[in-house]
Structure 1
């Protein structure tokens, strides 16, 4: 393999003499090429282990390695993308590293394609990333789904546990896990998946600590999901460094803002939402999304000095019109025309609710062209298979690209179905979470 090197700002990557070195300008990472793949620690001969897909100890040949600048079609910050393709016979594996300039860590991801034959699992643990430092304590972090029912001190949104002492453990509920030394120097692994503490999602695995090393398992894919006709992606992993000067919370936020950048003009606003204005039952609340009420609500939003109004469930009627998600003509005789005119008069931005898995690409685009909704509260997702995940995300991604990034999703996590979580798919929008605040007068 010929020498490869590239630089983007303070980020750089070099491959020479079977050593891959990647730097963000703040952190440096090294892998050595082995018979099995790339290894970043002395204790392991490869950073990934795929029992049930690859035989234990399977050899892989490095076919290609490229280093190119990228921003993933405008969905993330500019970075160096390092892609290495390995051939394991019937299976090919693509190992992708993203290095953002001045980031406290890197993002890695496996992609697979090929034909999987029945393989004995062997003795190795499945993992997609592995780290190792002198350990004084372990920390496990995760967020809860079903936010509408987490409104008390006894039902927090965050679970954050620190373990000390010797031993080993497997932690399936966490989205992030870290190893810390006595001096507060740490390495944090974050699985970029839809896992929540109370909703594990699709093949999200666990964090496994064996007394020395911390491994992240969970591919997203089962062996039967891997096909020879296209690359299929696994859950990505962030590996973040922190210390006493840059604590964990600051390092994590820094990396997340690079991975999922925001546009203040598009993404920051104060809004009202029509749901719930009509009482506690769904029928009354849906009635608040009818045109006559929405026109009045726009006056209220303007009086309150808010930026936007989100039209929630009900604009399409109690039943959608066939398979079309467009304004119910009985409720909106002229479509969005009157609402758009009133919003323009009041200088209010419009946002819209829709059922994530039901609305089509065509109807997303049609509604956007009629009313230029800046964000979409996408609800009722139940992502139970890799196919459902890919289809739902591909639809949203292509829609956003068709608008030239003028719009974004907001992912609803208010119920406990297998939805979007907190660390995944945020390049397409933010998290919609609702907590009830009771006011005692």
Structure 2
């Protein structure tokens, strides 16, 4: 808390909310959001928000330039303050303490309402402040009586007609400020979803000299001394957004703008408030602290409970589930899931009366409630026949479903009741959500209302697996308080698609671990017995079973293992080789996933000595086919491991402490080695 001397110096300010070391104050003009690490001051003297200070108080370092800061806020086609006779009016400022829950850690929120009388536009700004994290988040909302003053069309002739407008008026910013002298963009990072068609899931865009526009969910601006500003956008991946602009960030004359409205200008409608994504600014002393503070923020923003981390079977990966599904088959599957070491079996598409996902995404069928009745032909209209074998095997049942994206999820209340009924009647706790297309703000509102209302109604017990393989979907930083991410459809059994290969799956995990928490990912483990060798020959790819199946399974140990096969069709020998690793993961997942996970070693490329480290006290190393036998990993994000010894927990290899990291030797290749830090 703040000492009494400091409070006396702030007699003109009113404390609106406090929580631990965090406080929000307002003096009638300036809003101050402050904790023990960061202090941000937003001036509303002109009616609009202008950030005049953004400091790391513990470093005594200023990151914002108060000279000509300009408005932090704008929306495409809405005349900005200062133009013509447009002046924003601040109407109301409130703040509150939000207690910890399943959706988010305890934090403070301030809400500021602004009104512009000429256009009859109301903005609502919400600021988010967490104790002990040098970050401030902002979300905006707009309610307008007028449409944006733009020509909108995908035809170049009409888009070009907007060029006479300043870029601030052609693209909307949710947050921004003028960077202090010396700060400049260094790179943006663009996580990529639609994993059915993309193999590289993180694009690194180094900033070019003089570059002003950037794509991605993260932007890093820094000084030569190392200190920097990281801006995170909690929104869909860049390529899946609905914004009118073709960029996500702008930095011009050191004015940083975070364009995360994710709303097309034509979506404004009288009486309908549109909310943006959240823009979060993290101030860091250097790149290592940047990564650590990002993970700390994400831990509080999207908390995961131990009961959400499970080793799950999804049989769709066998490629034949539709033709195999039936009550007797599922009985065998559930029993076999236990033999493999899994604890949850997810019944995928074709359990229902309706024909399947293709009717929604290909035929555009209007799905009625009858579609989601349990199939009479395949399951006798009930799951009751599966419950005894599930109980006997100690395997929990989960379910696949697909809300109605082709009606913008307008039937979400009906769909909620279907999910709640299945949860109460059959005790389903995990639902995979597939077929999602968030093409409008209405669809986004409705889908989030569905997910939130189900979690609220069940006290957070129901948890979703959010498929990110196709469509327009929330991605890695949006809606993941409602569930984890079903990352990839990577098959070994088909003649089409990108195809599974352990090198590619490891690369995906390693890349994403740079910017997000792998605790939120489901990572697939197919079965070598399902391999269609002609596919790999045609693609010119090495056969995936050049890597042992234990290697395949080990890749998933620092995430949530997803057995991507039908276990009753897999040879016992393969299940017997996967099971010990899943049992190890189940024994130690609380410490593996309880720490923060960072990539170490070289980026996986088929020739790398690579791996991941968990600050819970775990290290996993992988020697790819073309990798050297020995090498060193720098453990800069885990200084507590300095000089300590590592014990081999699984695989083959040795690890010896060296200054700043660890020296590794994996004598066989391709191999993995899992180590636990000795107490």
Normalised by the size of structure 1, how large is the TM-score? 0.89
User: Match for residue 395 of structure 1?
Assistant: 450
Structure 2 residue 319 is the aligned partner of structure 1 residue 275: no
Q: CA deviation at 1:245?
A: 7.7
User: Match for residue 159 of structure 1?
Assistant: 203
2:327 is aligned, of 283, 287, 291, to 291
The answer on whether the counterparts of 2:184 and 2:254 sit within 8 Å (CA) in structure 1 is no
Q: CA deviation at 1:45?
A: 2.9
Relative to total residues, which structure has the larger helix share, 1 or 2?
2
SS at match of 2:374: coil
Q: CA deviation at 1:429?
A: 0.9
The answer on whether the counterparts of 1:136 and 1:181 sit within 8 Å (CA) in structure 2 is yes
Structure 2 residue 398 is the aligned partner of structure 1 residue 344: no
2:133 is aligned, of 103, 119, 128, to 103
Distance 1:212 1:272, change over 3 A: same
Bigger shift: residues 225-234 or 254-263:
225-234
**Whole-angstrom CA distance in 2 between matches of 1:245 and 1:385:** 36
1:333 is aligned, of 376, 380, 395, to 380
Q: CA deviation at 1:247?
A: 2.7
Consecutive unaligned residues in structure 1, runs of 5 or more: none
1:64 is aligned, of 77, 80, 92, to 92
User: Match for residue 495 of structure 2?
Assistant: none
**Whole-angstrom CA distance in 1 between matches of 2:442 and 2:241:** 17
> Map of 1:21-60 to 2, 5 A cutoff?
21-41=32-52, 42=66, 43-57=68-82, 58-60=86-88
Distance 1:334 1:356, change over 3 A: closer
Structure 2 residue 419 is the aligned partner of structure 1 residue 364: yes
**Whole-angstrom CA distance in 2 between matches of 1:16 and 1:156:** 49
SS at match of 2:448: helix
SS at match of 2:377: coil
Structure 2 residue 347 is the aligned partner of structure 1 residue 311: yes
The answer on whether the counterparts of 1:289 and 1:311 sit within 8 Å (CA) in structure 2 is no
Q: CA deviation at 1:227?
A: 3.7
> Map of 1:124-273 to 2, 5 A cutoff?
124-125=167-168, 126-131=172-177, 132-133=179-180, 134-135=182-183, 137-150=185-198, 155-163=199-207, 166-171=209-214, 173-196=215-238, 198-201=239-242, 205-244=247-286, 246-265=288-307, 267-273=308-314
User: Match for residue 88 of structure 1?
Assistant: 116
- Please give the per-residue CA displacement for 1:215-239, whole angstroms capped at 9, x wherever unaligned: 1124223344334435321122111
User: Match for residue 545 of structure 2?
Assistant: 439
The structure having more radius of gyration, on CA atoms, is 2
Q: CA deviation at 1:119?
A: 3.4
Q: Which runs of 4+ in 1 moved over 6 A?
A: none
Q: CA deviation at 1:33?
A: 1.4
**Whole-angstrom CA distance in 2 between matches of 1:420 and 1:382:** 9
Structure 2 residue 477 is the aligned partner of structure 1 residue 423: yes
Distance 1:245 1:189, change over 3 A: closer
Q: CA deviation at 1:186?
A: 1.0
Distance 1:19 1:202, change over 3 A: closer
The answer on whether the counterparts of 2:242 and 2:263 sit within 8 Å (CA) in structure 1 is no
SS at match of 1:68: strand
- How many residues align? The count is 427
**Whole-angstrom CA distance in 2 between matches of 1:412 and 1:335:** 26
- Relative contact order: is structure 1 or structure 2 higher (C-alpha 8 Å, sep ≥ 6)? 1
**Whole-angstrom CA distance in 2 between matches of 1:188 and 1:236:** 14
